[in-house]
Each structure stands twice: as C-alpha cells, then as structure tokens.
Structure 1
C-alpha cells in the first residue's frame, strides 16, 4: 500500500468553512460551489447534476469495477409556515429533528430579497409573564415561533419587511473547537465527513497516488430528506461507501474517538464482503474503529439501493454524540475516518467479477466455505404434513 500523510490542518479549516455556509436541504447552491472549488483547486475533475450534487473522479489503473464514496452537503433547517398575527413566524422543520433543539437558537431567515436575523423561542418564554407555565409547555414544532429582529407586530408588518411563507431558515452552527480536541457544532452531520473525504482526495493528489480502479467521490444534497445518492451514480459503480455521523449512546458500540463501521441500519444489513473489507483495512493499519448497528438511521446507501442500483454498499462514520442537536466529535475520530477512507480508495475492489452487472458464477464471492458451516449432528425432524405437501402425497 502506498504511503501517505493526511493534512489535518486542511481538514479542520475545511470543516470550519463548510460549517460557516448555511445549507439546509433546498438551499445548497453555495456549499456545492464551495466544494466544487476545493476539488478544482486540487485538480480533481468533477461533474454536477442539475440541482448541484457532485460526482468527482480519481482516475484508477482501470476503469471498472468503479467505486463511489459519498458524503452529504445538506443539513437540517426550517421553513416559514405562517406569518402570525403577533408579528412572529410559525415554522416547520426541514429534515427530521426535535423542536427542543431549536429553542433559544439564533438563526437567519432567507427572504426573497435579503437575509434577516432572528431567534427561535417557545410560545411562552418569559418566566416573569408566565411563571411555571414556561416549564409545562409540550415540545413540538407548534410550540415554537421565530422572533425576527425587525419591528413587526402584525402580519402586515411582516409582509412589509419581506417575509413570506416558504422562506428558508438556517440555524447558527455555534461551532467550537477545544484544545482537548473536541469539536462541538450543529451540522457536523455531515460536514465533518465532507471535510474528511476532501482530505482523503487531497492526500491522493498530493502524493500522486493512483487507485487500482476509478473512484468517484460523491457529494449529495438531499440526504436529510431521504433521496440522497439516488442521483449521480452510473452503471460502472459496483461499490459505494457512505460517510456519515455515527452516534455513541447507551446500547451502542460507537465511540467519539474512533471510526464506526456500521453492520446494519434501519434499511437492513450492509454488504457482507465490503463491510468486512473495511474492517480488515482498519485492523491492518491500526485505525481505531468500532462495529455498530443503528436501529433509527438511514444513509445515502439506502437511497442508492432503493433507486434500483445493484451495488455493494457500506457505511462508515465518525464517532459523535447528540446527533441532530449540538453534535460533538473528536479530532481523533475525524482522523480515523479520513485514514480509513484513503486506504479504502487505494485498495483493490471486493471482486473483479463486479465489473459486469450480470455474469456467470465464476469468481462469485463466498461468505461461508463448507468446512466453516455448522451442521447439526442429528438431523432436525421434518413435519409429516410438510413432506406430504412437498411430495404431493394424498392426505389420509
């Protein structure tokens, strides 16, 4: 395996710049332009879809079976649902997140002509006015509103200021990097993975490394609403690894100081061979890693398969805490993710046979060889009714 060094300073600076660019689903042009500029500066060719998803190419020694590695540029956010008679805005979420994490947050409303600042607050905010009722409010999106930083006491005032139903809202990321190496911010999901992927591309370019097969870094723009990598793929791609957040919590095996290799999410198990290839790479190069299963999680990989793509998929993520809230990770997790990503794109494909969509059994993968299979010492009994039905024997 060729040797390389990762530019962590580049990773961190890129992450900070990405986090500074608002990009809720549907408002992603700016972050797509930034990412395209990074690829162009590295000398990595790319194409963009009509809406702004990016498919880059790191040319390999052979074109097929090609692989893709994907991270998403879009984030959570909100949209104006109603101009309220009290001069405030009712909102709905973009993506799936709890209203409890919106309360008290500063934000920007993107009107048709300008950007206006505001704060998201519960309907009953002031303890001096509502007393204990402040603590008794339910938590949902009907219980919050946006107080905009303009003089507005009516619907007419809001309209005169330029507010309309359907205006996008981006919440401030409130990013902080601590001397201890911890990084706290909204939207580490998935901009930390984007920064790690760009860093891996930079390592390949800086060291003039050539992957065994073509690699297509993909940057999607609708993962948070489920469609994600259903676009930007093409028929030569046989393997796809998604890079995303991985959450440590009670009952989970993920750690904030390691990369997680996900075995299954709510869409089902990931590819047996591709997943174990990633585990093997992590073990070989002493990359801190954990295996985990996520019950309430889906990624770009699921969107790609559900769109009808017959490809092997896997999911790797940076260990983190508090997803879709104030997320936290550690620089060691981002380094582990970037290292695993770089080693993977420089590795051989799972199976040479995968260069063709359809082929004979020659070269087909094997999960368990006959000598590994566990066979009961005593044959299990088969119900007579089942055998009668199977053999067509008349019932007595």
Structure 2
C-alpha cells in the first residue's frame, strides 16, 4: 500500500502558507492551486466567490462526494490611518489581538504595492509607558508601525496606503528535524496540501473512484460561507478537511487524524463518523475522536445553507489554532491515509 508522499506534502504546505491569502484577497493562492492541478491535467472551474472546484469522474456519477479544504486565512484590513503615521487595523476572521502582537506584516495597496511593518501595542516601550504590560490588547491600543519614514496621515497616504488595504501576517514557516511544521495559516493550508497530494496520487496511479468526487478549495471559510454553495444535487456526502483543535479537555493531538463528532453547529452525521472510524481502525490509522466547542466548518456552513447531505469533518491536529500554529508530519500522514481510503470506500447511504 502506498500513500501520498509526506515530504512532498510538507513542501507544498510551505509554499501555500507563504502565499498571502486572507479572506477577501485569495486570488494569488487560487491561481497557484489552479496551476498545480492544470499540470496534472485536471480541469477546474471557479465559482463566483473565487473558490476552485476540481472533479474526478467515478464509476457511479448518479451519487457523488464532495471534499473541501480552505485556502483563505486570518488577516486584517487598514481601519484608520492615524495622525501619528501608524495604522489602526480591523481583524479578518476569529482571533484575538494578542495573538498578533509583535508580528511582522505586509500592507498591500489597491495598486498592488506592498510595504512591510510590525504590529505593536501603542504603549510598547516599557521605558515610557507605565501600563505597557497591563494595557488591553484591542483595536484602540494596537497599531502597525510602517517601515517607511512617515510621521502623519498625509505621508502615509502619499505611499498609496488607504483604508481597506489588506494586511498579511508573516507565516514564519519552519520544519524541524523532529518532524514538526510550525507556521501561521496551517489552518487550513495543511489540509489543502493534503487534498492536492491525494488528487495527484489518484491521477498518477490511474485510480478510478467508485463515485464521482468533487474537490472544493474554498476561499471564505474564515468568515463563515466558503463551502456553502456549488454542491451538486447528486452529492450525497460532504467531508470538510480542516484542522483538529487542541487544548484543555480535547483529545486531539499533533500526531493523529482528528475525527470531529460535534462542533458549535451541532453533531456531525453519526453514520459518516462511524464509517470514518471503521476505516481508520481497519487500516491501522491513528485517530482521535473529538468535540470542538467553538468551531464551525465548511460542512456545517453547507448544512446551514439547506443542502440535503451527509456531512463530516476530519483533519490534522493543530496546536495553538489561530495563533502560532504547529502540527507534526505524523498527523499529516494519518490524515492523508484516512482520506485515501475514504474516497475509495462505499457511501454511508
């Protein structure tokens, strides 16, 4: 039994996280994925929201599957150009200001020019501000220090920077000798890389799937509606491939594939969940069942949109989600193995 090449998957993750793509500004990364699939001679189509859909024809075209992972990430927009020449920002996605304090970033103007900067508390200097450690990390206190000689709003605007410009966070991707992948935006570019490698293996090994399968690379998941459309009437099962959340009370870890039983939207389909567990056990794949209390996926978005589908959620375990994320190659491997067997299995219904 051969599985998608983990080293190739990790190299692909490094490329993906290095392409800025906050929700609302994902065209560059979608272009990258589109080209990757085109080189495999796989046709794709874009939906009007900018997501990408690839389809692999199966033996049965009357019943179909859809798998999805999202390339959009957390980010920010310029909210205000301050009188001191710094920028107030508005967050894109569900995260806290403290998770980006001290982070390097880029500001992209509407004309495509990029400037570097650092996200800092206004009261950062402990030699000046008595409350530097106690001040609240919020929109009023945090700002971008631009790496240009600017002292007021007029000088900033002269650079071409304006309200609504996107802010990209430096991913700082690193792969350690011990097999850890550390980076921002592993949610959900790790899963995108896993799906792309799966498609590559199915294509190069000429594997015919039992059911026609759509792969949606969605681009608005972080704001709640990435995968809630373009689901064909023939689609029976819909599996979101997204990160497994770690923390106190969670069973998910960085070494197994996480199978979600329930998140903030409610329980996932019981039959599909049991099917995934059976596949993992039959093929000696390390997994953990878990519940994510403050989480929603493209699959739950599809259910909320009214689609009559069987929905599920699996993914690699990611530590420190929506902050300085980390996973291990073991989790990437186990997720890839489960997906490989899942797409070749029978439908639950």
Q: Same fold (TM over 0.5)?
A: yes
Q: CA deviation at 1:44?
A: 2.1
Equivalent residue for 2:88, pick from 87, 90, 96: 90
* TM-score normalised by structure 2 residue count: 0.98
Q: CA deviation at 1:219?
A: 0.4
1:80 corresponding residue in structure 2: 78
Q: Could you tell me how far apart the structure 2 residues matched to 1:121 and 1:29 are? A: 28
Equivalent residue for 1:112, pick from 104, 110, 113: 110
1:309 corresponding residue in structure 2: 307
SS of 1:87's partner is coil
**What are the Cα deviations for residues 242-297 of structure 1, in whole angstroms up to 9, with x where unaligned?**
01111221101111100000000010111111111111110010111000011110
1:123 corresponding residue in structure 2: 122
Q: Could you tell me how far apart the structure 1 residues matched to 2:76 and 2:42 are? A: 33
Could you tell which deviates more after superposition, 220-229 or 39-48? 39-48
Alpha carbons 1:203, 1:342 under 8 Å: kept: no
Larger radius of gyration: 1
Equivalent residue for 2:60, pick from 59, 62, 85: 62
Structure 2 gaps, min length 5: none
Residue 196 of structure 1 pairs with residue 212 of structure 2: no
Alpha carbons 2:61, 2:211 under 8 Å: kept: yes
**What are the Cα deviations for residues 363-390 of structure 1, in whole angstroms up to 9, with x where unaligned?**
xxxxxxxxxxxxxxxxxxxxxxxxxxxx
Q: Could you tell me how far apart the structure 2 residues matched to 1:125 and 1:5 are? A: 49
Q: CA deviation at 1:228?
A: 1.3
Q: Could you tell me how far apart the structure 2 residues matched to 1:106 and 1:231 are? A: 35
Equivalent residue for 2:244, pick from 243, 246, 249: 246
Structure 1 gaps, min length 5: 352-396
SS of 2:58's partner is coil
SS of 2:7's partner is helix
Q: CA deviation at 1:236?
A: 1.2
Residue 221 of structure 1 pairs with residue 219 of structure 2: yes
SS of 1:228's partner is coil
**What are the Cα deviations for residues 309-339 of structure 1, in whole angstroms up to 9, with x where unaligned?**
1000000010121000000100000111111
Q: Could you tell me how far apart the structure 1 residues matched to 2:339 and 2:120 are? A: 40
Q: Could you tell me how far apart the structure 2 residues matched to 1:103 and 1:110 are? A: 19
Q: Could you tell me how far apart the structure 1 residues matched to 2:149 and 2:57 are? A: 56
How many residue pairs match? The answer is 348
Could you tell which deviates more after superposition, 3-12 or 232-241? 3-12
Task: Note the 1:251-270 alignment, pairs <5 A.
Answer: 251-270=249-268
Q: CA deviation at 1:97?
A: 0.5
Q: Could you tell me how far apart the structure 2 residues matched to 1:148 and 1:98 are? A: 21
**What are the Cα deviations for residues 212-259 of structure 1, in whole angstroms up to 9, with x where unaligned?**
000111100000000111122111111000011112211011111000
Equivalent residue for 2:167, pick from 151, 166, 169: 169
Q: CA deviation at 1:4?
A: 3.4
Q: Could you tell me how far apart the structure 2 residues matched to 1:288 and 1:163 are? A: 48
Q: CA deviation at 1:45?
A: 2.1
SS of 1:169's partner is strand
Alpha carbons 2:58, 2:212 under 8 Å: kept: yes
Q: CA deviation at 1:155?
A: 1.1
1:296 corresponding residue in structure 2: 294
RMSD (Å), alpha carbons? 1.0
2:41 corresponding residue in structure 1: 43
Comparing both structures, which one devotes a greater share of its residues to helix? 1
Residue 139 of structure 1 pairs with residue 137 of structure 2: yes
Q: Could you tell me how far apart the structure 2 residues matched to 1:343 and 1:200 are? A: 10
SS of 1:287's partner is coil
